[in-house]
Amino acid sequence: MSSAAPRVWAVVGATGTGKTGLSLDLAEALAARGRAAEIVNADAMQLYRGMDIGTAKLPVGDRHGIAHHLFDALAVTDEAAVAWYQDAARAAIAQIHGRGADAILVGGSGLYVSGVLWDFRFPPRDEAVRARLEAELDRLGAGALYARLREADPAAAERIDPRNGRRVVRALEVLAQGGETHGGALPSAPEFWHPDTRIIATTVDREQLVPLLDARVEGMWAAGMVDEVERLRGDGLERGVTAARAIGYAQALSQLRGDLTRDEAVAETQALTRRYARRQVSWFRRYAEARWVDARTVDATTLMSAGEAGE
In this predicted model, what pLDDT tens digit does every residue of 136-170 receive, in sequence order? 998 999 899 999 999 988 888 887 878 888 888 88
Beta-strand (E) ranges in the chain?
A: 8-13, 37-41, 68-69, 102-107, 197-202, 291-293
- What letters, b where the CB count within 10 A reaches 16 and e where it falls short, cover 56-85? bbbeeeebeebebbbbbbbebbbebebeeb
In this predicted model, what pLDDT tens digit does every residue of 82-133 receive, in sequence order? 889 999 999 999 999 999 999 999 999 999 999 999 977 776 777 888 889 9
pLDDT of 241: 86
Percent pLDDT > 70 in the chain is 93
Provide the residue count of the chain: 311
pLDDT of 58: 97
Mean pLDDT of the residues in the chain: 91
Question: Can you tell me the distance from the alpha carbon of 91 to that of 300, in angstroms, rounded to the nearest whole number?
Answer: 26
In this predicted model, what pLDDT tens digit does every residue of 209-222 receive, in sequence order? 999 999 999 999 99
Structural domains in the chain plus CATH codes: 8-120+191-204+288-308 (3.40.50.300), 127-176 (1.10.20.140), 207-279 (1.10.287.890)
Q: Indicate the SS3 state at residue 115.
A: helix
Give percent helix, percent strand, percent coil of the chain, each to the nearest 5: 50, 10, 40
pLDDT of 98: 98
In this predicted model, what pLDDT tens digit does every residue of 8-20 receive, in sequence order? 999 999 999 999 9
In this predicted model, what pLDDT tens digit does every residue of 208-256 receive, in sequence order? 999 999 999 999 999 999 999 999 999 999 999 899 999 999 999 999 9
Question: Can you tell me the distance from the alpha carbon of 14 to that of 233, in angstroms, rounded to the nearest whole number?
Answer: 28
**End-to-end CA, the chain:** 23
